[in-house]
Amino acid sequence: MSTNIKQIDFNSDEAFEIDIIDLAELQQRTAGLSHDPTQPHRVSFNLLIYIEQGQGHHFIDFEYYPFNAGSFIFVHKDQVHAFDFKQTITGKAILFTAAFIDAIQANINLTGFLYDYLTQRYQPVVIPNAMLLSSTTQLLTEMLVESVREDRSSVVLMLLFSSLYLMLERERPQQVSALTATQSTILTRFIMLLTENPKSITDATDYALQLHTTYKTLNQICKRASSMTAKQFIDAYRMVEIKRSLILESKQVQQVAYDFGFDDTSNFVKYFKTQAQMTPLQFIKKNRG
């Protein structure tokens, strides 16, 4: 496993902040790419991967998720993932940016996509039944057709994608309650701030101040959306980043403790053990071996 996490940015020429790539073509041109897609890399965009044929295990943040033909795989912005091309895989990968989701959010609530990977019920692989698979693959085909039209429409692409996502979302573990438009905006901004400051800001009250709301309101929104408090949200994201530093960047425990604002390594070890039910060294042994 690489000691440095390669950052992959969205570099499509498309003005719509969305692109669709063919997995078989990606597999064939791996040698000519600036990065190896089969090695862990962090993406600055979101991915929805459809497996038409093939099977394997997709790596996402220290877990290997099995997939088969007919599977859809969700990968969120800033997650670290790797493709499994041990055998020939066919299908498509939809790449879309935060700006694309923001545009959709103006009319359709997709806030859950932004945070569900932090929850204990996170399951990135969806395997639809025959009827749903037929509907979702038809939507994917329509997206492909629209994306190559000379007069392609961003609105049509957003509507097709929204339908595809919402149909798949019904098959995933449900988060607790729907949010109002105002609550969704606050939660979205909170998550964006959280991803920017996992090392420097650890107090939910500080985030509430930046969001021009109260700690109580922020906490209620978080619990309504996911059953997690604002503090649990912060801890969940910090732990993902800490684990990435320990394994994918091969940093020493003392260095990671310092990076994340712990003055004493023993306090960091206690924090890690509380969150992960194992010590940092036990985690390293389990995942580097």
The answer to whether 8 and 42 are in contact (CB under 8 A) is yes
How many Cβ atoms sit within 10 Å of the Cβ of residue 168? 19
Alpha carbon distance 164, 207 (integer Å): 33
Average pLDDT, the chain: 85
Least confident of 71-80, 120-129, 137-146, 159-168: 120-129
Please write the tens of the pLDDT for every residue from 196-229: 877 777 899 999 999 999 999 999 998 888 788 9
Q: Does residue 175 form part of some domain?
A: no
Q: How many domains does the chain have?
A: 2
Alpha carbon distance 117, 287 (integer Å): 19
Q: The dihedral of CA 245, 62, 27, 46: what is its sign? A: negative
Question: Looking at the predicted structure, is the pLDDT value of residue 3 above 50?
Answer: no
Please write the tens of the pLDDT for every residue from 179-205: 787 888 888 889 888 888 777 778 999
Q: Does residue 118 form part of some domain?
A: yes
206 and 142 inside one domain: no
Residues facing residue 63 across a β-bridge: 60
- Tokens at residue 227, please? 């059953």
Q: Which domain holds residue 139?
A: 6-169
Question: Looking at the predicted structure, is the pLDDT value of residue 142 above 60?
Answer: yes
186 and 137 inside one domain: no
The answer to whether 256 and 264 are in contact (CB under 8 A) is no
142 and 104 inside one domain: yes
3-state helix, strand, coil in the chain (%, to 5): 50, 15, 35
106 pLDDT band (50/70/90 cuts)?
A: low
What's the pTM value of the predicted model, to 2 decimals? 0.75
Higher pLDDT, residue 29 or 68: 68
Residue 120's domain is classified under what CATH number?
2.60.120.10
What pLDDT is attached to residue 2?
Answer: 42
113 and 205 inside one domain: no
